[in-house]
Amino acid sequence: MNRVIVFVLTLVLILSLTACGSSTQPEGGNESDAGKTETYNYTWSACNSSSGYYALNVAVSDVINQYVDNVNVTVMESGGGADNLKNIATGQAQFGQTSVPDIYLSQNALGQFEDLQPNENVRLMLSLIPNMYYFIVSENSGINSIEDLEGAVFSPGNLSSSTERLCYTVLSALDITPDWFYASTSEAVTAMKDRRIVGFCKSGSSVTMDSSVTDVATSVDVKVLSFTKEQANKIMGMYPYYTFDTVDGGVYNQEEDIYTLASYYSYGVSKDVPEDVVYEIVKALVENLDYLSQSYAGISDFDPVEITAKYTSGYMHPGLIKYLEEQGYTVKEDQIPPEMK
């Protein structure tokens, strides 16, 4: 009997010590976890897969996954810039394709975002190239100027994209109201091939034709419309955060140069992504521009560090600020986010 009692007491003591050991750990975590590095799994909100930018987003994720330790990025198809900013705001994505000045407008609930709450979660991560907004129409549509879009069946851009909202804004400023054809980029491409619409609005590079327009051009002769200086001044008078620039007409196989809206193709990031992670991502992207240019020609013609430092607006991520300062740039005071003040 005594042996039984001793055995039971011993068993109780062992179980008690085990329980105490599992609930009592050194401050800062279990010693067995010391030295382990956290792995981050993120979602990258891109654009419609038919867009020429989609391949670039995939290439960016390839660079991150290969060169940034302990970070895994998965690309998600989306409606484009405005949709991506919304995804970052709600936490559905941590990164996303967007443009300047959309980050600033989203952060402050201005312009095309005035009906939404200020996006306090998004920060600028990097701007790569000038981003132009093209108003593409078919040659035989009879549309020869921006004002000719009045009453014409025209797609404003990919659903929920920054392009779509911008198209509404600038044409409304000129009192021009097309017969809107709401569609994704791929649907607009098909509709234009089938001659059901006269054209569509699409953002793209200043040095190479967008793949969606190349696709249309296999079936329909296309041209890109230009704004007049008077139209541009009227729009910028109402919306001073927009700008215009000239694109060589040869990019779209036409003799006349193209004068149209311009911004900068950029990437937004959640402020919750750690500073060191964003720093390493920015560094990896800048150092692998040649690889990125294989997916989207023309990137290597521009300096994303200079573009980001000099021509952007809106709060920057601390990781980006660290990288820019290492490169000798001084960040504008109004781009330093609240978390750094």
Q: How confident is the model over 64-91, as a mean pLDDT?
A: 95
The confidence score (pLDDT) of residue 67 equals 98
Can you give the pLDDT at residue 36? 57
Can you tell me the distance from the alpha carbon of 332 to that of 220, in angstroms, rounded to the nearest whole number?
A: 46
For range 247-262, the mean pLDDT: 96
> Percentage of the chain with pLDDT > 90?
72
Identify each DSSP E strand in 139-279 by its residue range: 153-155, 179-180, 199-204, 222-224, 243-247, 258-270
Output the pLDDT for position 171: 97
Nearest to 133 by CA among 236, 228, 243, 267: 243
Q: Give the mean pLDDT of 315-319.
A: 98
Side-chain half-sphere CA neighbours of 250 within 13 A = 2
- Strands (E) in the chain, as ranges, are 40-45, 71-76, 95-100, 122-138, 153-155, 179-180, 199-204, 222-224, 243-247, 258-270
Token pair of 41 as six digits: 């799994």
Are 130 and 264 in contact by the 8 Å Cβ rule? The answer is yes
Pick from 1-10, 77-86, 154-163, 232-241: least confident: 1-10
Structure confidence at residue 8 (pLDDT)? 41
Give the span between the Cα atoms of 297 and 256, in whole angstroms: 22
The reported pLDDT for the residue numbered 6 is 42
- Residue 124 predicted with pLDDT over 70: yes
CB 250 within 8 A of CB 206: no
Q: Which pLDDT score, from 0 to 100, does residue 243 have?
A: 86
Contacts of 301 (CB under 8 A, 6+ apart): 129, 207
Using CA of residue 141, residue 146, residue 152, residue 157, what is the dihedral sign?
positive
Query: Residue 4 — very low, low, confident or very high, per pLDDT cuts 50/70/90?
Result: very low
Query: Which segment of 134-143, 237-246, 253-262, 277-286 scores lowest on mean pLDDT?
Result: 237-246
CA torsion angle 127 128 129 132 (round to 10): -50
Of the pLDDT bands very low, low, confident and very high (cuts 50, 70, 90), residue 91 is: very high
Assess whether the previous peptide bond of 101 is cis (omega < 30° from 0): yes
pLDDT band of 112, cuts 50, 70, 90 = confident
Q: Are 226 and 259 in contact (CB under 8 A)?
A: yes
